[in-house]
Structure 1
Amino acid sequence: MGIIDSIREMKEVYETANKPNWDEVKKLVYVTLLFFALVAAIALPIFISLQYSIMICQYMP
């Protein structure tokens, strides 16, 4: 009966654990999207300029 007791104990721990409210979830999503936008804003110009420089160097003698 040890397995059933441990499952019951896990269920009690889950029910008493503090679940995140909607404001915290929204804040986390906003921070994640902001981080991805920041990474894209840094990486995209570098990538585009690299592509242009490669394209120009191909046609240079």
Structure 2
Amino acid sequence: MYTTNIDNEIFTKLKRLNRDQKTDVLDYLEHIPKVSHSTRIYRRKAMKQIREALEKDW
């Protein structure tokens, strides 16, 4: 399933981060604004932003 692949990718990347970086990622995830009418687009954009943020740290 697609969601499982994304979840695994996030968990794999998070394992490599230090404590402050993990906190920053979790804070970011908590403060993503909720959009009720366009969940698929919202999730796709959020995952893209997370990937870009994680790639910058490497």
Decide: shared fold, TM above 0.5: no
User: Which one has the bigger helix percentage?
Assistant: 1
Return the index of the structure with the highest Cα Rg: 1
